[in-house]
Chain A
């Protein structure tokens, strides 16, 4: 009977301990929820006039980039020539997810600027984007052979991001059979995520 009344204070002792330990941990940047997770389930229809859509089951067996893009996103245009080059040189397959875009707009955009995507899918309702945790375009994910998300790049990819971060990660994943979470990210990756993190925080929520 007495125990019932002791319970609140005992519970609080637990919470207070956790808070105390929490204080000593460096309040680091919050990583993407999705890192080291399987890609979320999805099955997207093809873009206008493209033969095949894109599903989560298509992402196994190879290391790939998954790029979220839209015709309304200007930063996407900045990185587009780079994606075209990756595709033309056969560096790594790029899969595209067209996010909250009008089908005819997306088609016109790709027709005009070139289509770097080995496979692409149309996420008109934005549901898949939400599942991937996308909050600002463009975003590019590196997915390993077991279709796990290894790295997330927020914002347009610059040539130096590609050289110093994305490609080294892709190479490491190809070279080793290691689990994705034991890949050590190059320092260039850390820097770009942190910068973007601050920026995206200001943009999304005070």
Chain B
């Protein structure tokens, strides 16, 4: 009964979305205020219906109602409650409902709090949102009904994929979706602006918070995903350039570019058509990611159960949404008037360069991900593109991006003196060189020559960002109290930018550190053996058999000491899930915040017919790896701090000249 209510609510949401997407749009076209006014209550109603549907589905999982096919396929009575709940979005069908739930939530937020938007723009934004919802709801209802019943109902369910039964994986999809769907708002604003034929600074300011929020959550979602891969897969790696990882990374890259170009749009009224295009492209890449994960065109182990019918449906949807919006762009964008002029060496110039590099990087990832498909399509046979391609192309593109990120914020708008700015970054330059030298000097083994330089680059961005902040509050040039006062009155977006850029520097240092200085040992160890690595001694105490809620555990025990002083005890596990006959690895990690000590147990000698209790063991010393996730969290927090900026909270004045700020307007990032 509950499931049928859910199904019915989903149908009602679909019908509501159709109404919301048509009548108010016609009203906006004919300036009929009554028809336009329909959009706001319709979005709220749509949200309510989807909440009911989602709650009904979740209820089915919580009470383990195996007469619902989706529950029987993805849950099991022995699973802990946390994973029963997270199974709601662990399957293709359920994740779609979560998608539309977030979409409707965002739409309702615009409807309720968008009072400062011009009515026609608000109506059109909600209308475009509604059409996206129609697409996804019909996809769900027609091809992927989550409420399908089974008769007779099985006694127990088939359980969620054990690899996904993990706290990191339980929360990672919702964050990713908030990111993807958040970009749908930027998209809707872009399409609405194209329909209206008007893009101005105020428009850019309305789009910005959505982009910021989406970007922050996507950053966190990607970070969580890679953290999960790091400890769950037992290989000491954190990023594999897998098609599914790439399909979340592409919108992130385009979204980062959008975040920066929207600043130029807002402050200087320039780059308008480019910003619009980026908004369309960013959301298109989110949709493309959905297509790649669900259609089966690319082989990936992340992929949801693949089904060509679903693939065809999403492809049709992609053609409508992306093709339609790009056609609209081709017609309307030439009419947009260009804004303020600027010299190549200026903050605008730096942001344009940032955009070119980020979009090129995004295109590189796109090509690497889809090249196997393109080749296959045109009869070139099957190939796979691996990490070497991405490392060789993507890495070098990031070097100028990082280098400019330290310089750009110090450049004034319109025209700048590059030599002067570099002069102000003397300190960053000195620190960067010192770190490079130190990294090279302290290295005993052989490392790639780019590694010390890369560490220097990270230091350059980190110190450069702090220098820019110090300059802004005139640290050491004014009495401390005055600097403090300036710091207090600095807009939050300035803090946000400094944080986000410092976060990028930390991520970079973490990636380079772990790639270049990682130490790895694979050994057979019997209980009582010990291994010394990177100054630590790992003593193996043996493996014990334990029982988890729905799996069996082989738990190894290691005592780690350094010069005889105990450091920690580590318990890596191998888990066996009998329902699905799957083995998973749980690495044990001790972090010192400078490095991770990482131990995973591989296989028992018993497997080779010898029962002396020895196991093959992988031990990694991963320098700086914790900084990757620390950096990602700081980036996300930077985004949220910037989001809380007063300018965005109070909304935009019609034209930005109403108040001349005493401090030169800072540029958030």
- A residues in contact (CB < 8 Å) with B: 1-2, 5-6, 8-9, 12-13, 15-16, 18-25, 27-31, 33, 70-75, 77-78, 100-102, 105, 126, 133, 201-206
Contacts and interface: CB of A to CB of B under 8 A. Distances in A.
A139 B541 CA distance: 30
Interface residues of B, number: 62
B233 A205 contact: yes
B483 interface: no
B301 interface: yes
Contacts, number: 128
A102 B523 contact: yes
B607 A74 contact: yes
Which 6 pairs across A and B sit closest by C-beta, in order of nearness?
A9-B326, A74-B608, A22-B297, A206-B163, A21-B377, A72-B616
Given A2-B334, A8-B280, A206-B229, 6 more contacts: A1-B334, A16-B315, A19-B315, A20-B315, A22-B297, A75-B607
16 contacts: A2-B330, A5-B329, A8-B280, A9-B330, A16-B322, A18-B378, A19-B318, A25-B297, A73-B616, A74-B608, A78-B608, A105-B524, A202-B163, A204-B235, A206-B163, A206-B302
Interface of B: 161, 163-164, 229, 232-233, 235, 240, 242, 273, 277, 280-281, 284, 291, 295-299, 301-302, 306, 308, 311-312, 315, 318-319, 322-323, 326-327, 329-330, 333-334, 370, 372-374, 376-378, 382-384, 386, 520, 522-524, 582-583, 602-605, 607-608, 616-617
B229 A12 contact: no
Contact of A12 (B322, B333, B523): B322
Contacts of A202: 163, 301, 582-583
B523 A30 contact: no
A30 B375 CA distance: 13
Nearest to A74: B608
A95 to B, nearest CB: 21
A8 B608 contact: no
Contacts of B607: 74-75
A30 B163 CA distance: 22
A64 B553 CA distance: 41
A71 B522 CA distance: 9
A18 B370 contact: yes
B605 A74 contact: yes
A71 B277 CA distance: 56
Contact of B240 (A24, A73, A102, A205): A205
Contact of B301 (A12, A16, A206): A206
Contacts of B311: 23
Given A5-B334, A33-B386, A75-B608, A206 B308 contact: no
Given A29-B299, A31-B382, A206-B301, A12 B232 contact: no
Contacts of B280: 8
Nearest to A28: B382
B330 A8 contact: yes
Contact of B291 (A19, A33, A70, A126): A19
B442 to A, nearest CB: 20
Contacts of A15: 370
Given A9-B326, A19-B297, A72-B522, A205 B603 contact: no
Contacts of A27: 296-299, 306
A9 B373 contact: no
Most chain B beta-carbon neighbours within 10 Å: one of A5, A33, A126: A5
A61 to B, nearest CB: 27
A205 B522 CA distance: 19
A126 B618 CA distance: 14
Contacts of B616: 72-74
A78 B586 CA distance: 26
B229 A5 contact: no
B297 A206 contact: no
A16 B323 contact: yes
A5 B32 CA distance: 32
B315 A23 contact: yes
B376 to A, nearest CB: 6
A103 B472 CA distance: 58
A97 to B, nearest CB: 15
Nearest to B382: A31
Most chain B beta-carbon neighbours within 10 Å: one of A2, A77, A133, A202: A202
Nearest to A6: B330
A34 to B, nearest CB: 10
A136 to B, nearest CB: 10
Contacts of A133: 386
A15 B377 CA distance: 11
A30 B373 CA distance: 11
B582 A5 contact: no
Contacts of A29: 299
Given A204-B235, A206-B232, A8 B373 contact: no
